[in-house]
Amino acid sequence: MRSSDRDRVVLATVVFAVLFSQLLLYPGVGTLVEVLGADETTSGFAATELDASMWFLVAEFAAYVAFVGVWGLASDVTGRRTPFIVAGALAGAVGYAALAAVPTIGSIPFEGVLVLRVLQGAMTIGAFSLTMTMLMDLAGGHGRNMGAAGIAIGLGAALGAPVGGQLTELDPLAPLLGAAVLLVCVGALVTRVEDRTPDSRRTTRALLEGVRKRPTLSIPYAFGFVDRLTAGFFALVGTLYFQEAFGIGPAATGLLLACFFAPFALLQYPMGALSDRIGRTIPIVVGSLCYGIGILAVGAAPSVATVAVAMIAVGVLGALVSPATMALVTDIAAESERGIAMAGFNVAGSLGFLGGFLVGGTVASAYGYDLAFLVVGGLEIAIALIAVPMFVRWSLGREDHFEHDRI
């Protein structure tokens, strides 16, 4: 196995571990926030279980938005990735462990829990985003590299959700402890990979100016925002909807989420390689429009079995879109700007998650789940349609088969 192939596997494993640790918390988030002290009588952030769960998830992704650019910029300026990934992973592990210790302390208000969640998220995003940037640095085809990242993300989510549901059944705090252990392993594993950060170093101002002069990055950023918005919606509103509408517990909820994430994960690498062959336009444009329709189908499904089928279909469509969108970032960004370019993509994605939590949670709380599915599915279709003309105009101005770095 060539060095770049081996490193691709290791880096994909790191991405998997970070996402797996994150998704451990989702199926039992309602139970978890209750154990961590969410109480409507003492906190305005915990008026209902849905509100407390929403703010617990929002806190992490708000930190992602605020700090991912800092990590990417620091990496590009210093010309190093590995030390920052190790620091972010280990500090993130401490954050998860601190959250798990909250019930034993017993005197921390829910607002304090949210502050800890922000700190944990600020550290974890560094490990996640810069590991994806290290995949961008590899040779072998941008679609392949981002397909490896995508399959790791999908598998982490697909396995993290059901395992997290089972752990929650044992102990609501078990997912937090499991996440802490996994991030320690991430810090150790990433040191086994060669740091291939481009040698050319630039000032902070030059890097930001370089990214600013590439407005076409807004194309993958827009699609990344939309895709993550729907993922955030399913992580929060979908989880609670499945449990309330069909009377299932965290374990069964995790399995339903896995119906989406399993095909989403398993098809990432072949779909990424496909986009290397046929270009990015068809996977991104067609896949995004069909993806929005699939979300509406999930909300309309009358039984657990039909929901599972609809979730599988949405997972396949997500696998078509995701690696092509991430590869488009690599296609557009200069080598010396990859850290900040991927950070921008993750900012867009984190804002999407926040939108999914806030829009989905607010609409579901005020008007019910049916309208929430309609709004989010409609947003997916609408934003995709708005972005399509810009994408097509740009792609028509150049060869649809993007320049690759195959060996």
> DSSP states of 120-144 as a string?
HHHHHHHHHHHHHHHHHHSSS-HHH
175 and 38 Cβ atoms separated by less than 8 Å: no
Cα dihedral 237, 147, 17, 201 sign: negative
- Do 93 and 177 form a contact (C-beta atoms < 8 A)? no
Q: What is the CATH number of domain 3-396?
A: 1.20.1250.20
Q: Which of 86, 87, 85, 96 lies closest to 119, judged by CA?
A: 96
pLDDT at 206: 56
Number of Cβ within 10 Å of residue 2's Cβ equals 10
**How many angstroms separate the CA atoms of 266 and 286, rounded?**
20
- What lies within 8 Å, CB to CB, of 50 at 6+ separation is 30, 236, 240, 361, 364, 365
Q: Is 59 in contact with 121 (CB distance < 8 Å)?
A: yes
Q: What is the pLDDT of residue 141?
A: 64
Quote the CA–CA distance of 93 and 21 in Å, as a whole number.
10
Number of H helices, E strands in the chain: 16, 0
The pTM (predicted TM-score) of the whole model is 0.72
Write the Ramachandran bin of 7: left for phi over 0, alpha for psi from -120 to 50, otherwise beta. alpha
In whole angstroms, give the CA distance from residue 95 to residue 101.
10
CA–CA dist 307, 301 (Å, integer)? 5
CB atoms under 10 Å from CB of 43, counted, come to 19
Q: What is the pLDDT of residue 404?
A: 41
Where b means 16+ CB within 10 Å and e means fewer, 230-240 reads bbbbbbbbbbb
Check residue 407 and give its pLDDT. 34
What angle (nearest 5°) sits at the alpha carbon of residue 284, between those of residues 391 and 240?
Answer: 120
Assign 3-class secondary structure to 255-284: HHHHHHHHHHHHCHHHHHHHHHHHCCHHHH
Query: What does each C-alpha distance from 19 to 40, 71, 104, 107 come to in angstroms?
Result: 30, 18, 27, 30
What is the rounded distance in angstroms from the CA atom of residue 203 to the CA atom of residue 78?
9
Residue 205 pLDDT: 59
Average pLDDT of each block of 10 consecutive residues along the chain (407 residues)? 76 91 87 83 75 86 85 84 94 95 84 93 92 81 74 79 87 94 93 76 55 70 82 80 85 82 80 79 82 89 91 88 80 72 78 81 86 86 76 58 39
Q: How far is CA 17 from CA 13, 275, 350, in A?
A: 6, 26, 18
Map out the domains of the chain as residue ranges: 3-396
Q: Residue 280 corresponds to which tokens in the numbers above?
A: 């990015």
**Cα gap 29→11, rounded to integer Å:** 28
Supply the DSSP symbol for 237: I
